[in-house]
């Protein structure tokens, strides 16, 4: 019988332990950790910029063209080193008036981690940066005297149909046209 040196056995055991620990799935948080109770405390017409910053912290994105719009994004993923098992993206958009008081708050909260294989196709392929750039400034505002409108007022594309603005993603898609 072959006797293995003790240092070789310890080294192999440590390597095996490191390799197997990479298989452990974890929840990864990116962006701002959003608290739904804090968002509910924001009242349009009453809450100021300083109070929003105190409740939610520094925004993930401040629109450089419209500084009255703060966006908070939370990306939670349940994953291991090989693949993402589930994902949820929560978003809060706060719009201020000229005095620095909250005019509007829009948000979505989905605390369930969704399996990417079971998500609707449009949600699965559209990343948060595509939402940001394809939304508000993708098309010019129309109408008498309009300058810039919020993303909710500009019709861009239906959420049910895949976007035609970024055709490169179809290369990676499972069902190609």
pLDDT tens string 116-158: 555 554 444 445 455 454 444 444 444 443 343 344 443 343 3
CA distance 136 to 139: 7
Per-residue pLDDT tens for 72-128? 988 877 766 666 567 778 888 999 999 999 999 988 876 555 555 555 544 444 454
List of residues 6+ apart from 42 with CB closer than 8 A: 51, 52, 55, 56, 94, 102, 105
Q: Distance between terminal CA atoms of the chain?
A: 62
User: Would you say 154 and 136 are in contact if contact means Cβ atoms under 8 Å apart?
Assistant: yes
The domain ranges of the chain are 25-117, 120-177
**3-class SS at 96?**
strand
Closest by CA to 102, choosing from 42, 156, 161, is 42
Give Cβ neighbours of residue 26 (< 8 Å, ≥ 6 apart). Answer: 78, 79, 80
For the entire predicted model, the pTM comes to: 0.51
């Amino acid at each position: 019988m072959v006797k293995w040196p003790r240092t070789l056995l310890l080294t192999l055991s440590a390597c095996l332990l490191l390799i197997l620990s990479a298989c452990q799935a974890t929840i990864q948080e990116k962006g701002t950790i959003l608290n739904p109770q804090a968002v509910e405390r924001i009242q349009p017409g009453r809450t100021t910029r300083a109070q929003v910053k105190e409740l939610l912290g520094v925004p993930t994105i401040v629109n450089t063209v419209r500084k009255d719009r703060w966006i908070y994004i939370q990306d939670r993923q349940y994953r291991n080193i090989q693949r993402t098992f589930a994902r949820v993206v929560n978003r809060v958009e706060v719009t201020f008036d000229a005095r620095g008081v909250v005019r509007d708050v829009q948000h979505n909260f989905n605390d369930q981690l969704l399996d990417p294989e079971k998500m609707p196709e449009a949600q699965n392929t559209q990343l948060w940066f595509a939402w940001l750039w394809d939304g508000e400034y993708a098309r010019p505002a129309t109408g008498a005297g309009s300058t810039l409108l919020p993303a909710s007022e500009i019709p861009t594309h239906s959420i049910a149909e895949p976007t035609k603005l970024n055709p490169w993603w179809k290369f990676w898609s499972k069902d190609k046209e």
